[in-house]
């Protein structure tokens, strides 16, 4: 429960920061960055939140089902879905390709030996 409290606290803190600063950022993503920094600075210990975080991330795919169900409002778009998927696929191939090629050029040899 402590873990969940810390996560909710950082989400609320991120939201408060966004509200006060007026920055166009989602509070939860700001909370993510704040928690990452707090873990790095040892203000928050990993074992406080590890169980709660793993539990929530395990059901992350469930939590946005209510939003994705809203696609039923776009059934009338019909054939346009094909174009949307086409654009998305182009983005996936170009973006993924650039990331893969750049990262393999820049990667340092791993000491641990090759993984399968």
Task: Output the six-digit token pair for 10.
Answer: 């950082």
C-beta of residue 5 within 8 angstroms of C-beta of residue 11: no
- The least distance separating other proteins from the CB of residue 9, rounded to whole angstroms, comes to 9
Binding residue (CB under 8 A) for other proteins from 1, 20, 79, 107: 107
Binding residue (CB under 8 A) for other proteins from 1, 20, 76, 108: 108
| 30: CB partners within 8 A, 6+ apart | 14, 15, 17, 18, 23
Site map 15..54 versus other proteins, x via CB under 8 A: x-------xxxxxxx-xxx-xx--xx-----x--xx-xxx
C-beta of residue 67 within 8 angstroms of C-beta of residue 50: no
| 32: CB partners within 8 A, 6+ apart | 10, 14
- The least distance separating other proteins from the CB of residue 62, rounded to whole angstroms, comes to 5
- The least distance separating other proteins from the CB of residue 40, rounded to whole angstroms, comes to 7
Site map 61..90 versus other proteins, x via CB under 8 A: xxxxxxxxxxxxxx--x--x--xxxxxxxx
């Amino acid at each position: 429960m402590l873990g969940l409290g810390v996560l909710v606290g950082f989400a609320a803190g991120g939201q408060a920061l966004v509200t006060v600063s007026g920055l166009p950022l989602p509070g939860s993503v700001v909370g993510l960055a704040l928690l990452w920094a707090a873990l790095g600075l040892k203000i928050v210990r990993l074992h406080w939140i590890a169980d709660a975080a793993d539990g929530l991330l395990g059901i992350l795919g469930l939590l946005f089902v209510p939003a994705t169900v809203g696609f039923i409002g776009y059934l009338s778009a019909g054939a346009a879905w094909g174009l949307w998927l086409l654009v998305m696929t182009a983005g996936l191939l170009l973006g993924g390709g650039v990331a893969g090629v750049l990262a393999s050029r820049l990667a340092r040899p791993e000491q641990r030996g090759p993984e399968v």
